[in-house]
């Protein structure tokens, strides 16, 4: 992700040779298409200290309104599933985040209310530069840093289990949506007051692994150096240390060696603080960071495999073999055996989720045994996991489409009665129940998206083979096996959506 080792920061500037070693370790061969900061008004806007506050504040207001709506208003039956907080969270927000991370990088992180509020409290100001932070300002322990985004994956897994158990995304009782929002706000603020910079966003946010993995196909490559030699010669390293114009990178990313969009939170601090005007905001061809990242990371590869299992679980649980009115499904039987009160049973939730990464791991081990010239299985595991990113990312977006197409019109209409006080005059007209697409149209959109994701993954696999294994004997067969897995996974995913018939 372009990080310089944190324990080296106090000793900056480093010797030129050491910086070159760090730069060579991280920098890849990505193609830069266009520097957005060459546009005058974009450049002037990104220099403004108030920018992130202005774009985050409306989002924060919406989340506070959603949070309050879960508790204010009538009780019981009048707390409908279409209360504003539930509607905007489950009909719009998840679909918007899934789409943005595939096409616009970490744009959500720029406007995220959780990170924004935590950072304002930590800095003791919403946008000004202050010399001392509020809190303990501790470094994230190196032993934990070695796990990368895996704590985030664990958090996302637990939140998904809780959401499934409570039926929050039904959407169910709005209070549970508010509980979820409170929990994320509280955990973010607590971590901000203990650790420095955006430690919470970098390592612990339940969405950071999801966004970090699926932002790689994006055309927005994030902030990075225009000329790496200028960064190597720079003595101050203000982009990571900060100066009077701004803070050191809150995301712990060094622009001089950054070669991937996975870690750049688009906060603009490096652009503001660079004394050499050597930082730009780049667009790049789609899929660049999938097939040609600066370096591949095992934590992101593992995260991809686990996230793949989680989204397939979300599809499997719609099938009769999983649960049915007769009580003969897997989940029904396990609940009777274990005494678990209702869906989902913990055993099948864990088992079905992790069976996917387990089989993926076994497949990689077998293929590297069959084609030993390919090299170490870890390298192959990361390469093939990265190739699958477009397919699995499109699957996550496709899974959100039924709620989006069926109920998106209810989001603005729910504002007529955000607290569930039965004010909604729009609820009595046909528009309230208007679906943008029929069930057949929903399925078609899911299948088309899956086909596009499958094609993108096949292209990425070919580029990865061409980049990583250009001369190895057996690399062609290795590529063929990878493409076969991608093709079968894509066909199976599309088949599941057809069978689900637009089920939410």
Together in a domain, 341 and 457: yes
Is 451 part of a structural domain of the chain? yes
One domain, residues 264 and 313: no
What residue spans of 429-473 are helical by DSSP H?
Answer: 439-468
Q: Are 461 and 412 part of one and the same domain? A: yes
- pLDDT tens, position by position, 108-134: 999 999 999 999 999 999 999 998 899
Q: What is the CA radius of gyration of the chain?
A: 23
In a domain, 157, yes or no: no
* Interacting residues of 12 by C-beta distance below 8 A, sequence separation 6+: 236, 237, 240, 241
The confidence score (pLDDT) of residue 356 equals: 97
How does residue 458 score in pLDDT terms, banded at 50, 70 and 90?
very high
Between 210 and 293, the more confident residue is 210
In this prediction the pTM is: 0.90
Indicate whether 225 pLDDT > 80. yes
Residue 10 lies in a domain: yes
Q: What is the DSSP letter of 138?
A: B
Q: Are residues 359 and 300 part of one domain? A: yes
Same domain for 422 and 301: yes
Q: CA dihedral defined by 185, 190, 191, 197, rounded to 10 degrees? A: 90
**Pair (271, 309) in one structural domain:** no
Q: How confident is the model at residue 425 (pLDDT cuts 50, 70, 90)?
A: low
pLDDT of residue 146: 93
Domain around 240: 1-30+220-283
Whether residues 446 and 306 fall in one domain: yes
Mean pLDDT is lowest, of 182-191, 259-268, 369-378, 413-422, for: 413-422
Residue 234: strand, helix, or coil = coil
Given 243, 258, 283, the domain boundary residue is: 283
Same domain, 324 and 403: yes
Q: Kindly report, residue by residue over 24-77, the tens digit of the pLDDT.
A: 333 334 455 789 999 999 999 999 999 999 999 999 999 998 888 778 754 544
Task: Classify residue 116: in a domain, yes or no.
Answer: no
pLDDT in tens, 173-191: 788 888 889 999 999 999 9
Residue 51 lies in a domain: no
Looking from the CA of 158 toward its CB, the CA atoms found within 13 Å total 12
- Judge if 260 and 370 occupy the same domain: no
The DSSP secondary structure of 9-46, one letter per residue, reads GGGPSPPHHHHHHHHHHH---PPP-EEGGGSHHHHHHH
Pair (473, 379) in one structural domain: yes
d(CA 266, CA 283): 13
What's the total number of domains in the chain? 2
pLDDT in tens, 234-260: 989 999 999 999 999 999 899 988 888
């Amino acid at each position: 992700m372009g990080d310089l080792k944190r324990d080296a920061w106090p000793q900056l500037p480093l010797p030129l040779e050491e910086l070159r070693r760090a730069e060579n370790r991280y920098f890849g061969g990505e193609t830069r298409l266009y520097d957005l900061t060459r546009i005058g008004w974009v450049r002037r806007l990104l220099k403004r200290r108030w920018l992130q506050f202005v774009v985050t504040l409306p989002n924060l207001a919406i989340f506070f309104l959603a949070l309050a709506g879960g508790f204010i208003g009538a009780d019981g039956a009048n707390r409908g599933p279409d209360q504003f907080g539930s509607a905007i969270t489950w009909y719009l927000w998840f679909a918007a985040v899934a789409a943005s991370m595939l096409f616009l990088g970490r744009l959500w992180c720029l406007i995220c209310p959780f990170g924004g509020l935590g950072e304002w409290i930590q800095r003791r100001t919403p946008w000004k530069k202050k010399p001392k932070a509020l809190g303990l300002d501790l470094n994230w322990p190196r032993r934990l840093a070695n796990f990368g985004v895996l704590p985030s994956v664990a958090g996302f897994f637990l939140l998904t289990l809780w959401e499934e158990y409570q039926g929050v995304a039904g959407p169910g009782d709005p209070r549970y949506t508010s509980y979820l929002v409170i929990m994320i706000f509280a955990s973010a603020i607590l971590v901000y007051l203990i650790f420095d910079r955006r430690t919470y966003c970098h390592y612990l946010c339940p969405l950071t692994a999801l966004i970090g993995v699926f932002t790689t196909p994006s055309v927005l490559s994030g902030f990075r150096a225009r000329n790496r030699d200028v960064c190597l010669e720079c003595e101050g390293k203000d982009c990571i240390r900060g100066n009077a114009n701004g803070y050191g990178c809150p995301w712990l990313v060094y622009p001089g060696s950054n070669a991937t969009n996975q870690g750049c939170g688009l906060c603009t601090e490096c652009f503001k603080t660079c004394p050499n005007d050597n930082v730009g905001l780049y667009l790049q061809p789609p899929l660049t960071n999938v097939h040609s990242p600066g370096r591949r990371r095992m934590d992101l590869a593992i995260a991809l495999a686990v996230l793949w299992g989680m989204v397939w679980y979300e599809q499997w649980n719609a099938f009769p073999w999983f649960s049915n009115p007769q009580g003969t499904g897997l989940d029904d039987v396990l609940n009777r055996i274990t005494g678990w009160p209702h869906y989902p049973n913990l055993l099948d939730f864990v088992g079905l989720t992790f069976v996917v990464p387990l089989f993926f791991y076994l497949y990689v081990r077998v293929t590297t045994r069959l084609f030993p010239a390919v090299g170490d299985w870890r390298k192959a595991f990361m390469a093939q996991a990265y190739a699958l990113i477009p397919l699995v990312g499109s699957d996550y977006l496709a899974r959100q489409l039924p709620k989006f197409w069926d109920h998106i019109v209810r989001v603005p209409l729910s504002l007529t009665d955000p607290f569930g006080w039965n004010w909604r005059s729009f609820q009595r007209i046909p528009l309230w129940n208007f679906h943008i697409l029929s069930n057949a149209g929903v399925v078609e959109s899911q299948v088309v998206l899956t086909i596009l994701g499958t094609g993108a993954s096949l292209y990425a696999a070919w580029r990865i083979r061409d980049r990583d294994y250009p001369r190895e004997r057996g690399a062609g067969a290795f590529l063929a096996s990878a493409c076969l897995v991608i093709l079968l996974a894509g066909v199976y995913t599309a088949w599941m959506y057809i069978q689900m018939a637009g089920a939410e």
